[in-house]
Chains A and B, each alone.
Chain A
């Protein structure tokens, strides 16, 4: 595969900083959105962008140009998000297992509150409802739903990103969809 991005990656690998800056420009929004939807707040989304590009930069030498650059960078970003979610869960259980009746730990409460007043205004009630439903989704469904719906990626590409068979991705999309259907209580929102 010899796409524009692959060429940029090769140039960056050989020390061309402006080529790397171009890759950052192309992907920063996508990775920021990924982090934001996976982790639920702006601060961690920015951390994910920083960590992803740092890792991409350090791994350019091992990047295989026969694979799509987008799959590679999404894989790095998604794995970083999943690591954080797992650590959160571990902390919630081991340190401050102060669970509310909703089954939420302090971290996920924090995550869904982190909106500026301007952002809160622009999100409709329905949209907030969906956001909260996604924030509460189990991680294994959340990653496929975020990649599928908020990034419009194909089942094949998600399979490449998550390193699992397409059939597994499909099952998770189906379950994620059912989870949200029940959670959204569609009638109430109409």
Chain B
């Protein structure tokens, strides 16, 4: 039977997307029997959802222009005419 310490590390592996099926089953068994770990799992699941819901800040529209204006101009090559 899995202990809580192992379960917590499995929970994180699960959220990393790295927990294989047999281990997920083992974790599920533990969560069914352990209210503390189940609570932690639910809270982390909610935290993940919140993190994914943060909207991207608006980017200033003239940013490319500003960046390019600050990039040094290439040295003009002298066109040698013969």
Interface residues of A (CB under 8 A from B): 15, 17, 20-21, 24-25, 28-29, 32-33, 36, 42, 45-46, 49-50, 53-54, 57, 119, 122-123, 126-127, 130-131, 145, 149-150, 155, 170, 173-174, 177-178, 180-181, 184, 186, 189-190
Contacts and interface: CB of A to CB of B under 8 A. Distances in A.
B57 A45 contact: yes
B15 to A, nearest CB: 7
B71 A20 contact: yes
Interface of B: 9, 12, 15-16, 40, 42-44, 46-48, 50-60, 63-64, 66-68, 70-72, 74
Contacts of B52: 149
B51 A28 contact: no
Contact of B16 (A28, A49, A155): A155
A145 B52 CA distance: 11
Counting chain A CB atoms within 10 Å of each CB, the highest count among B48, B52, B53, B68 belongs to B68
12 contacts: A21-B64, A21-B68, A28-B67, A29-B59, A32-B60, A32-B63, A42-B57, A50-B70, A53-B67, A149-B51, A177-B44, A186-B42
Contact of A24 (B43, B50, B51, B64): B64
A6 to B, nearest CB: 19
Given A54-B70, A119-B58, A122-B55, 16 more contacts: A24-B63, A24-B67, A28-B67, A42-B57, A46-B63, A49-B67, A50-B66, A126-B50, A127-B53, A149-B52, A155-B16, A181-B40, A181-B44, A184-B46, A184-B47, A184-B50
Contacts of B58: 119
Contacts of B67: 24, 28, 49-50, 53
Main secondary structure of the interface of B (DSSP, over half): helix
A176 B46 CA distance: 14
Contact of A180 (B16, B47, B53): B47
Nearest to A179: B47
Query: What does DSSP make chain A's interface, helix, strand, loop or mixed?
Result: helix
A123 B15 contact: no
